[in-house]
Structure 1
Amino acid sequence: MTANPGKKQDSPQDEAGQITRIPHRGWILMALMLTMSLAAMDITIVATVVPQIVNDLGEFALFSWLFSIYLLAQTITIPIYGKLADIYGRKPVLMGGTALFPLGSAACALSWGMIPLIVFRALQGLGAGSIMATVNTLAGDLYSTRERARVQGWLSSVWGVAAIVGPTLGGAFAEYATWRWVFFINLPIGLAAIGLIARYLHEHPSTKKHTIDYAGALLMMLAGAAGVFGLLQGGNAWPWLSLPSLGTFALVALLIAATVVRERQAAEPIMPGWCWLA
């Protein structure tokens, strides 16, 4: 999958820097697929070993947080990672997240209790947020408009394969080894992806100075966290029309309003201005 040197590339350009080594797009796409597989397979593989985890670590009442905290950490960080990728480039953000995910996986595999496992799952979620924020953006940077549909097909196929391979591997580990291997398996995949990204992906760093809207980022994360928390707990920990549920969503509304006000005032908002009400 190499580019024709004589053909002008119509890939978009941005402040983060232009991808310069187009002839290695095939290797970079492989790295992106490996990176995407970390986030995709983790969703399906962990569910198959929950009985073994609970049997080993106990705390049955807390096991749902193995999934909730991962989703929460991933969701609230995606806009932040997207802004950081615009400022500092795709490569450092993607490599940081891809390194963080196997680190969290190794910590999960070595967990000695349910609460530490939940904390380390949050670390995995932070890495997944970076992956979800940058993989498709990088594909858009690397490939022309005419090529993107084909490339998106390759990236989307990762989710289909993960839906089959994840439960199969998880069941095999639960039956013949230990549940800890559903996390250890992320280490070689993550290392391979990091190696390919480091070797083949090159960017021109931006020389323009930027300012990060820390207050806006914090408000956005709090609003996202409160919203996801309310949706996860509503109907489970408390009824939808209960005082805790109504209070949580009232807090979400206040945080969203504060975020909009702050983002309108920021010199460089976390998300583009057209995302907010005029």
Structure 2
Amino acid sequence: MRKNVTIALLLATFLAAIEGTIVATATPVMASELNGAKLVSWIFAGFLLFMAVSTPIYGKMADLYGRKRVLLFGIGVFTVASLACGLAQSMEMLILFRAAQGIGAGAVLPIAMTIIGDLYTYEERGKIQGVLSAVWGISGVAGPLVGGFLVETLSWRYIFLLNVPFALISFIMIVLFYKENVTETSRKIDYRGAILFATGMSALLYGLLSGSESESFAETLILISFAVSVILLFWFYRVEKKASDPLLPPAVIRHPVILVINLAVFFSAWVLVSMSAYIPIFAQGVLGKSPTEAGFMLMPLSLFWTLTAIVGGRTIGIASPRYRTMTGMGLLVIGMAILIGIGRESSDVFIYLAVSLIGIGFGLAQPVFMVVLQTSVDWSLRGSATAVNSFLSTTGQTLGVAIFGTLFNVSIIQAFSDSKLLSGYSIDPFFQSGTASRYGADVQSAAEQALANGLHLVFIGGLVCAILAFFMTFRLPKVRPEDPTN
């Protein structure tokens, strides 16, 4: 049973993992075809926002009512939303359906990881984390290649349809092979807290993401969003203090080891989105690469993440959590420092080197974070602990998209308005070298420099977050935590 369930979970993970790499590769084409360059960050942000707010709710439901039903629901929603994304006729429709994808993915990734924690011991979790990383690696390599091929030969729409067969196989295998014994409990999910949390976080992230696509956070609707968020989240805090079974258990939130891991994961998520979302734009808009070539530049991330995690997973029982994660986060710092130094005339080698170092860094640190976190709590809290970690990772990416998107948008808007060559031109065509070349060498060169300057601000922000994540690892234990009674 365990083997078949693991295969199904690997397929579910592949379902969500390949979606990210394919979409990143096709983003410039979608933005250009749907005339939505100013909304480009919402392609990622809509997905991440709803994934973030739903994840802790799914985690709590999995602890109370079992993992199986929650996971099947998430896969079903993700599949239908993927089909809808492939049929979208405007950028607004695409963003709406991407949000629905996020609602499904909010269950898929954390619940799959929770089940892994249930089925395997500490040492075994290290090995299976390596296998899970291999799935991410395969999807990371296949995603850009398949995505670039589909975009150039058929249409970007097919990148979403590719999710469907994997989803159906995973769904059927989980139904057939995963036999779960759920103990009856009188505990109920804190629905009032869940609603307050979901709406409060949605208002906060909406305000941040809306501000990222405008030149100011002082617009009326954005300020209202922030005000509503403060009120609802404060109300949520008051409700949680009195709840008999809170949505976010204090034992998870205040646990010293879990707190450090969550902060490190939160800041490293900013690093991940700063490169995965913006390197394809740099490659196509500044360096003049094709979508496939841009996808190749992200491949070392998944490749080295995979290889490092597989090798490291087999020694996780004897390795120091602190020193391994310190090394991993340190490599993120070096990789982002290299990205800051690249320019229009830089060799592609520097991008490949930076992405490779960051991949090794994540491969060293992320599996250790998850194994130590799941070992620090028992079964009744494992779903919530895993979900909170996923929530902070997703929130970190969402905030990264918002803040980095603001830096990028404001920079290029200002550059286009200040330039005599670019003033009056739309930004959209310059996201791809094929369309940018129609405007003449001087105009194209000026646009490339404007894009490069905006992207450098994003990479500087990524470096700051990498440094913060690095310092978080100083508080991790030198030895593995003891397993609680399950």
Does the 8 A contact of 1:101 with 1:124 survive in 2?
A: yes
After TM superposition, the score normalised by the length of structure 1 is 0.82
Does the 8 A contact of 1:39 with 1:131 survive in 2?
A: yes
1:195 corresponds to 2:168 = no
Partner of 1:91: 68
Paired AA for residue 170 in structure 2: A
Choose the corresponding residue for 2:104, options 113, 127, 134. Answer: 127
RMSD, aligned CA: 2.2
3-state DSSP class of the match of 1:208?
A: coil
Separation in 2, partners of 1:114, 1:247: 25
Q: CA deviation at 1:259?
A: 1.5
Count of residues in correspondence between the two structures = 253
Does the 8 A contact of 1:260 with 1:276 survive in 2?
A: no
Identify unmatched segments of 5+ residues in structure 2: 255-486
Separation in 1, partners of 2:93, 2:13: 25
Q: 1:86-165 counterparts in 2 under 5 A?
A: 86-165=63-142
Partner of 1:178: 155
Range with bigger deviation, 203-212 or 190-199: 203-212
Partner of 2:49: 72
Separation in 1, partners of 2:46, 2:171: 25
Separation in 2, partners of 1:149, 1:229: 37
Range with bigger deviation, 88-97 or 219-228: 219-228
Q: CA deviation at 1:201?
A: 0.5
Identify unmatched segments of 5+ residues in structure 1: 1-23
Separation in 1, partners of 2:14, 2:202: 25
Q: CA deviation at 1:216?
A: 0.4
Separation in 1, partners of 2:203, 2:252: 20
Range with bigger deviation, 219-228 or 118-127: 219-228
Partner of 1:222: 199
Separation in 1, partners of 2:213, 2:157: 28
Paired AA for residue 97 in structure 1: G
3-state DSSP class of the match of 2:123?
A: coil
Q: CA deviation at 1:27?
A: 1.6
Does the 8 A contact of 1:94 with 1:130 survive in 2?
A: yes
Range with bigger deviation, 218-227 or 134-143: 218-227
CA change 1:157–1:223 in 2 (3 A) is farther
Does the 8 A contact of 1:66 with 1:121 survive in 2?
A: yes
Does the 8 A contact of 2:74 with 2:105 survive in 1?
A: yes
Q: 1:250-261 counterparts in 2 under 5 A?
A: 251-261=228-238
Does the 8 A contact of 2:58 with 2:107 survive in 1?
A: yes
Range with bigger deviation, 24-33 or 90-99: 24-33
Q: CA deviation at 1:120?
A: 1.0
Paired AA for residue 193 in structure 2: G
Q: CA deviation at 1:42?
A: 1.3
Partner of 1:267: 244
3-state DSSP class of the match of 1:64?
A: helix
After TM superposition, the score normalised by the length of structure 2 is 0.49
Q: CA deviation at 1:251?
A: 4.6
Separation in 2, partners of 1:100, 1:206: 26
Choose the corresponding residue for 2:190, options 181, 206, 213. Answer: 213
3-state DSSP class of the match of 1:269?
A: coil
Separation in 1, partners of 2:95, 2:211: 20
Partner of 1:10: none
Q: CA deviation at 1:169?
A: 1.0
Partner of 1:48: 25
Separation in 1, partners of 2:223, 2:235: 18
Separation in 2, partners of 1:243, 1:178: 37
Q: CA deviation at 1:214?
A: 1.4
3-state DSSP class of the match of 1:76?
A: helix
Rg larger for:
2
Separation in 2, partners of 1:64, 1:145: 38
Greater helix fraction, Structure 1 or Structure 2: 2
Paired AA for residue 249 in structure 2: P
Paired AA for residue 107 in structure 1: A
Per-residue CA shift, 1:24-74, capped at 9, x if unaligned? 212211111111112212111112223433444334433331111001010
Does the 8 A contact of 2:59 with 2:110 survive in 1?
A: yes
3-state DSSP class of the match of 1:147?
A: helix
